[in-house]
Amino acid sequence: MRTVLMVAEKPSLAQSISKILSKGNCTSRKGLNGACSVHEYTGSFQGQSVRFKMTSVCGHVMSLDFIGKGCDYVVLWLDCDKEGENICFEVLDAIQPVMNKSSGREKSVYRAKFSSITDTDIWNAMNRLGEPNRNEALSVDARQELDLRIGCAFTRFQTKYFQGKYGNLDSSLISFGPCQTPTLGFCVERHDKIQSFKPETYWVIQAKVFKGKESPLTLDWNRVRVFDREVGQMFVNLAKTSREAQVESVSKKEKAKQRPQALNTVEMLRVASSALGMGPQHTMQIAERLYTQGYISYPRTETTQYPENFDLKGTLKQQANSPFWAEEVKTLLSAGINRPRKGTDAGDHPPITPMRAASEGELGSDGWRLYEYITRHFIATVSQDCKYLQTTIDFNIGGESFSCSGKTLISPGYTAVMPWQGIPLEEAMPVCERGDAFTVDEIKLVEKQTNPPDYLTEAELITLMEKHGIGTDASIPVHINNICQRNYVTVENGRKLKPTNLGIVLVHGYYKIDAELVLPTIRSAVEKQLNLIALGKANFQQVLQHALDIFKRKFHYFVDSITSMDELMEVSFSPIAATGKPLSRCGKCHRFMKYIQAKPSRLHCSHCDETYSLPQNGAIKLYKELRCPLDDFELVLWTSGARGKSYPLCPYCFSNPPFRDMKKGMGCNECTHPSCQHSLNSLGIGQCVECDSGVLVLDPTSGPKWRMACNKCNVVVHFFEHAHRVQVAQDSCDACDASLVAVDFNKTRSPLPAGETQHTGCVFCDQIFQDLVELKHATMRHPMHRGRGRRGNPKKPKDKMAALAAYFV
């Protein structure tokens, strides 16, 4: 029997698809990597009985562990966008060398195209299999290579150039990206407009009139405003010559507020930010979850027009029993749905729609809010337009023209399901006709000022990015998230994006050196070329080389002109020598070095003009004024907090490893110095009970709540609480080679018999010690550094260690 291998993009998708195609009759087992399961069943394929095996990748293929047992056919169920096409060929590169050879011209590779995880869509895809699109995959390859090479070159250079110069430059990575930087540019451009804005004073005439006992009516001046007070006063004086306001005309006009077009990704992101208060990255994560669970269609699409064969009525019927919009849905089904507005067919996926009914309990808070909006939007697209009557009354007061207008709802149409877009209730307009006279209640000149624009909201930024072709519907959230994560902008109330000092200086610096690095024009042009690759109208290698040549020249010019940006940095940030607080002594000049907390945290000796790296994401303090025996630098102590772990380190050795078996970024708990009292050789106890390469090292600062911690992973072992002293002995355990530990217990709390207080033994094997040991996982804020020492290679005591590990769990 032949075998058909089917590959999806996520484990959850593989499970859902195999369940639909096997009609629930598949067996499942864990794959080799433990993350991607394999679902197997027997069925029919191309007119023959076959064995189906469904599995998945986890995003892009980064490593290969495909066991070459062979298969006859492969069906690719990757996401149906350009990224998905790219992953198709990554999968094929891994499996084609070990596939069974097909006979003659028999086709062995198939591509499934689908837009939702429903029985109908999945079976339609299975019955209409096509081929993966090589051109779309190549366009993604080109984009990835361009972004990586350009981003790495600029990022590495400017990070290295500026990091060691300014102490309060709060960024551990000063990144550049062909899309990220123009995105930041939009935010800084708005900031500059706000800063350069000069308010202007202007004047308006405010008039109030009434008729009989009706409440006063406030009129709008037809000249709107004047910027000269004397001119404004002249018009006021003219108007005041009359005590009556004559009705010049009364017009009534029926108007319509159009229902929305079908929903695409960009509009969903805009509304989620402005109306739901959800960031673009978070919104896409939720949308992808709703999609994989079968609640909505594929959430990445540029299309705003339903296909001709789209089952609008069937999709609407699924919502007929919802307590939130059942009445509107049933009315539409009985009266007949309205033809949706014509939109744009981008040739990718259908618009985003609900695929089945749901409740808040099923989806959770944010999931429900996004699903509710998507569903209401869909219902609105097949509803009638909102209709209202607009009444406008024109007045003449002393020769000056004024007017007022009001809206009266005729039929709510689509706003019944999207009430936030409804016509607000207004006070009814007075009944009058041409020639009627109203009494003037008040006429006065009001002084006002023009206001600056506000900071860009995420929704406005998304609109600008779409307009200028910066990023795709899939990558726009990533670029916005990057400029937030890199400390270039902060998200203020109302999801407004306010540039930081660093973000402003970078953009202004790019403008001084080469404005095209930050303007959207060059990236927009590159995106057009990439789209031509996807359409098969441009050569991959030519487009790639042309873009790289342009940016190569720009990079060299940027490097030569970096002092222009540095001049702006000097104004905005303090020199490293003038930053920080004295902490520990330099081993070269014996003067105090300053501790700079701003990321990346580091020590700086202003006398020697040297900067020394430190571990990040923790607290640094002086370690008992003790010195490194190799270089005479005072040791410092890094700690991740009371529930975390801590270790001493020499600032010089941390950046300049003293021994061949050490690497940069190692503390004393990984130092292989043979005799230093702080080194791994002196404080290492035994191999970690969880990871293979780590060593459990005594934390000499942890008393009276003593602990040892792995110098690789986040395992922390608490032991001998309230003991006076814990020391690592020179002798080793006969059973497991771990170092023995000498403990001096508190007399009142000693677990030893006959009131004894001192005992030396193995924490893994000693019966007295075993009940005093407790394993925990440290609260870590950074990945631990790697290394190996002499005590890093004790043999694991097979039975004792297994028993201890089981006890810990």
CA distances from 301 to 100, 115, 516, 765 (A): 36, 10, 29, 61
Using 50, 70 and 90 to split pLDDT, how confident is the model at 805?
very low
What is residue 68's three-state secondary structure?
coil
Using 50, 70 and 90 to split pLDDT, how confident is the model at 798?
very low
Order across the sheet with 602-605: list the strands: 581-585, 592-596, 602-605, 610-613
Residues 6 or more apart whose CB falls under 8 angstroms from that of 94 comprise 61, 64, 66
State the DSSP code for 674.
S
Give the pLDDT confidence score for residue 59 in this predicted structure: 55
In tens, the pLDDT along 669-685 reads 999 999 999 999 999 99
Task: Out of 236-245, 467-476, 554-563, pick the least confident.
Answer: 467-476
Using 50, 70 and 90 to split pLDDT, how confident is the model at 435?
very high
In tens, the pLDDT along 395-427 reads 999 999 999 999 999 999 999 999 999 998 877
Using 50, 70 and 90 to split pLDDT, how confident is the model at 69?
low
What is residue 421's three-state secondary structure?
helix
Whether pLDDT at 788 is above 80: no
Chain-wide mean pLDDT for the chain? 89
Whether pLDDT at 481 is above 50: yes
For the purposes of burial, counting CB atoms within 10 Å of the CB of 195, is it exposed (0-12), middle (13-18) or buried (19 or more)?
exposed
Give the pLDDT confidence score for residue 358 in this predicted structure: 93
**Residues forming the active site:** 298
| Mean pLDDT for the stretch of residues 431-447 | 94
Q: Which of 75, 24, 19, 18 is nearest to 46 (CA)?
A: 75
Cβ neighbours of 118 (radius 10 Å)? 16
Q: Report d(CA 420, CA 275) in Å as an integer.
A: 10
Q: Report d(CA 797, CA 733) in Å as an integer.
A: 10
What is residue 137's three-state secondary structure?
helix
Give the pLDDT confidence score for residue 779 in this predicted structure: 54
Using 50, 70 and 90 to split pLDDT, how confident is the model at 793?
very low
**Ordered domains of the chain (ranges, CATH):** 3-132 (3.40.50.140), 139-196+454-573 (1.10.460.10), 201-258+387-449 (2.70.20.10), 265-383 (1.10.290.10), 576-676 (no CATH), 683-778 (no CATH)
Give the pLDDT confidence score for residue 321 in this predicted structure: 92
Highest mean pLDDT among 20-34, 541-555, 750-764: 541-555
Give the pLDDT confidence score for residue 153 in this predicted structure: 95
In tens, the pLDDT along 757-768 reads 999 999 888 888
Task: Out of 65-74, 630-639, 714-723, 754-763, pick the least confident.
Answer: 65-74
| Mean pLDDT for the stretch of residues 463-485 | 91
Give the pLDDT confidence score for residue 270 in this predicted structure: 95
Q: Report d(CA 133, CA 137) in Å as an integer.
A: 6
In tens, the pLDDT along 284-311 reads 999 999 998 999 999 999 999 998 888 9
Using 50, 70 and 90 to split pLDDT, how confident is the model at 79?
confident
Q: Which of 428, 426, 438, 390 is nearest to 248 (CA)?
A: 438
State the DSSP code for 580.
S
Give the pLDDT confidence score for residue 789 in this predicted structure: 35
Please give, one letter per residue, the 3-state secondary structure of 31-55. CCCCCCEEEEEEEEECCEEEEEEEE
Are 653 and 628 in contact, with CB atoms under 8 Å apart? yes
| Mean pLDDT for the stretch of residues 769-796 | 52
Give the pLDDT confidence score for residue 34 in this predicted structure: 61
Whether pLDDT at 806 is above 50: no
Using 50, 70 and 90 to split pLDDT, how confident is the model at 61?
low
Q: Report d(CA 237, CA 235) in Å as an integer.
A: 5
Give the pLDDT confidence score for residue 30 in this predicted structure: 81
Residues 6 or more apart whose CB falls under 8 angstroms from that of 498 comprise 187, 191, 455, 489, 490, 492
Whether pLDDT at 111 is above 60: yes
| Mean pLDDT for the stretch of residues 545-574 | 94
Whether pLDDT at 264 is above 60: yes
Give the pLDDT confidence score for residue 338 in this predicted structure: 92
Task: Out of 464-473, 532-541, 557-566, pick the least confident.
Answer: 464-473
In tens, the pLDDT along 716-741 reads 988 888 889 999 999 999 988 999 99
Using 50, 70 and 90 to split pLDDT, how confident is the model at 792?
very low
Highest mean pLDDT among 74-78, 596-600, 772-776: 74-78
| Mean pLDDT for the stretch of residues 268-275 | 95
Task: Out of 340-349, 752-761, 770-779, pick the least confident.
Answer: 770-779
Whether pLDDT at 60 is above 70: no
Give the pLDDT confidence score for residue 171 in this predicted structure: 62
Whether pLDDT at 661 is above 80: yes
Whether pLDDT at 714 is above 80: yes
Using 50, 70 and 90 to split pLDDT, how confident is the model at 797?
very low
Percent of the chain with pLDDT over 70: 94
Q: How many Å is the Cα radius of gyration of the chain?
A: 35
**Phi and psi (nearest 5°) for 301?**
-155, 145
Strand stretches in 104-216, DSSP E: 109-111, 201-210
Give the pLDDT confidence score for residue 770 in this predicted structure: 79
